[in-house]
Amino acid sequence: MRLLVTRPDEDQDGLAEALRAMGHQAIAAPLLAIRPLADAAIPDTPYQALLVTSANGARAVGARRRDMARLAALPVLAVGEASAEAARAAGFADVASAGGDVEALIELALRRLAPGGGPLLHVAGSVTAGDLKGGLEAHGFSVDRVALYEAVAADCLPEAAIEALGTGAADGVLFYSPRTARSFASLIRAAGLEQTLVTLTAYCLSGAVADALAGLPFKAIETATEPTQAALLGRLA
């Protein structure tokens, strides 16, 4: 299949490789651009652990050399395997994956950490899904959430997407977040290309992502059985 990939550029390569290994073609059509927040400051606090809810968060902290010098030895709890792999690539050695969503990450933290062991550091984007901080603080943890990057929505569909949709050169679209799905819905309507979707299947990471596509005339909407990339790619079969 020929699939539009709506993830940011930073997340395209690994996914494109996985799709090629399955016999599919990836068409890069990022709807979010990742921009580091240069003025973000991580408190000089003796943290118990680092929490990561996106690969971009892991990459952002890994790019901060001074902070990495004091944080690299911390255990890292990541929301999923992609975030865990990015944390390892950034230089963290003790990394565990919750293999799911924010609720799964909270459960992992409750198993691995103790409220009395010290505060937790959550590095993330300026916009996050779920309430990791509130969920853990309800169990007695202290959590510092620091936004290290922002994800800026595209103001128009990428040219690759317009061409693929207009020429019938796409069979489906991959969506990883409700925000990306909402952006796609808005941009596809603004471009007057809704009817190009009638032969396409939308592949969604979760029910919330699928809900954000309500009203668009996709041939079908497939939802992963769990919010992981492995489960999402499994729907392609």
SS3 category, 151: strand
Judged on CB neighbours under 10 Å (0-12, 13-18, 19+), 220 is exposed
Contact of 205 with 224, CB cutoff 8 Å: yes
What pLDDT is attached to residue 10? 85
* Calpha distance 178→42 (Å, rounded): 28
Structural tokens at position 222 = 């497939």
| Beta carbons within 8 Å of 132's beta carbon, 6+ residues apart | 51, 53, 102, 105, 106, 122, 143, 145
Q: Block means of pLDDT (10 residues each) for the chain, length 237 residues?
A: 94 89 96 93 96 94 93 96 93 94 94 97 87 96 96 94 95 95 96 96 95 97 92 91
Cβ neighbours around 156 below 10 Å, total: 11
What pLDDT is attached to residue 13? 82
What pLDDT is attached to residue 82? 87
Contact of 184 with 31, CB cutoff 8 Å: yes
Contact of 206 with 228, CB cutoff 8 Å: no
Q: What is the DSSP string of 128-177?
A: -SS-HHHHHHTTT--EEEEEEEEEEEPSS--HHHHHHHHHT--SEEEE--
What pLDDT is attached to residue 129? 74
H/E run at residue 76: strand 76-78
* Calpha distance 231→57 (Å, rounded): 22
Neighbouring-strand partners of residue 52: 78, 123
Contact of 132 with 53, CB cutoff 8 Å: yes
* Calpha distance 80→62 (Å, rounded): 17
Structural tokens at position 62 = 């890994």
Domains of the chain from N-terminus onward: 2-31+155-234 (3.40.50.10090), 35-152 (3.40.50.10090)
SS3 category, 121: strand
User: Helices 81-90 & 55-62, crossing angle to 10 degrees?
Assistant: 10
